[in-house]
Amino acid sequence: MGCQHSTADDEHYKFEDVERPDFSLQALLQNENLVRAAKALADCDVLLFACGAGWSKDSGLATFEEVRDNGLDYFALCQSTLLHEDPEKFYGFHGKQLESYRKTTPHVGFNILKSWKQDMIDRMKTTFQFQKLQADKNLTNFPFFILTSNVDAHFWTSGLFGRMELAEIHGNMEYWQCSSGVTAPTRGMCGASRKCEQRPWRFPESQDMKPYPRCSCGAYARPNILMFKDRIYDDTGENAKFVKWWDTVESYKNIKSDLKIVILEVGTGLIVPSIRIKTSQFAKDNNATLIRVNPKRSDLEDAAFQGAEGKFVTILDTSVNAMRKLDYLMRSGV
């Protein structure tokens, strides 16, 4: 397959800077699952890319387990009620998280994914059919979509992808919302007499956490991310975007019955399985091939695919290594 690894108009595109992988092609070709996955990716008509904490970990960001190992109780820190119980602790934790996300450079897997998307664009002749079916201007009209539970916003802050082709199902740390619980009265959260109608807003690049950020109504501001026991998270429609794109894939399938649909799911664990639930369902509903990448063998397994192994490929590896190996195989014409 011919890959195009640079686009002149994309200044964020840094794939060329990366050293060539030190993998041996011969060794990669021995790995049956890797080869199956590379072939499926090189030939797909629809690609859903889904990722969890393991994907961001490869950029150097801490996972739940690592936060816990540092003596911090992630579950306690990510309770929405902590804001009112202990604002100092709340802003201390979330402020550090935001700072760390902004300082961290996304790994090369992002660039590789972007190059695969470009390859799809180059080889596809029938995307106009998909475009006709998807008329919402706020949603991509291309059969490529990203689903993530990560809140670092790296897909779009890197400039590599647009929010229209991405569902951040747990929100992101760049956007902040009112903590009064009446952020979105039109969506049924209100009922109180308070007057806040703020939608989530972008947290300023340079703002310090002190004095603590507030909404214009006077209440504390908080990240627009889904926390534990969170009853006031303002879901701005990320899940709905994915559902709408999924509906378009279904309609596309009705026109093009031999559609090859692939899901590449990387770095999703069993602690917060939100993404896995969606990818399994999407795979089943669309007779799609699910490629699951995880460095933990126990996280690869899926009882839902018993008897459907032909549609399920597992790769025991970290996200970024798997992306580099798959890309290497695809570029070698596998």
Residues found near Zn ion in the complex (CB under 5 A): 178, 180, 196, 198, 215, 217, 219
**Cβ contacts of 58-64, under 8 Å, gap ≥ 24:** 58/107, 58/109, 58/267, 58/318, 58/319, 58/320, 59/104, 59/105, 59/106, 59/107, 59/152, 59/154, 60/104, 60/107, 61/100, 61/101, 61/104, 61/152, 62/100, 63/269, 64/269, 64/271, 64/272
Closer residue to Zn ion in complex, CB, 94/311: 94
Closer residue to Zn ion in complex, CB, 150/183: 183
Closer residue to Zn ion in complex, CB, 142/176: 176
| Least separation in angstroms between CB 219 and Zn ion | 5
Q: How many CB atoms lie within 10 A of CB 154?
A: 24
| Least separation in angstroms between CB 277 and Zn ion | 32
Closer residue to Zn ion in complex, CB, 53/215: 215
β-sheet with 201-202: strand ranges across: 201-202, 171-178, 221-225
Q: How many CB atoms lie within 10 A of CB 218?
A: 11
| Least separation in angstroms between CB 202 and Zn ion | 16
Closer residue to Zn ion in complex, CB, 28/215: 215
| Least separation in angstroms between CB 245 and Zn ion | 31
| Least separation in angstroms between CB 23 and Zn ion | 52
Distance (Å, rounded) from C-alpha 279 to C-alpha 270?
13
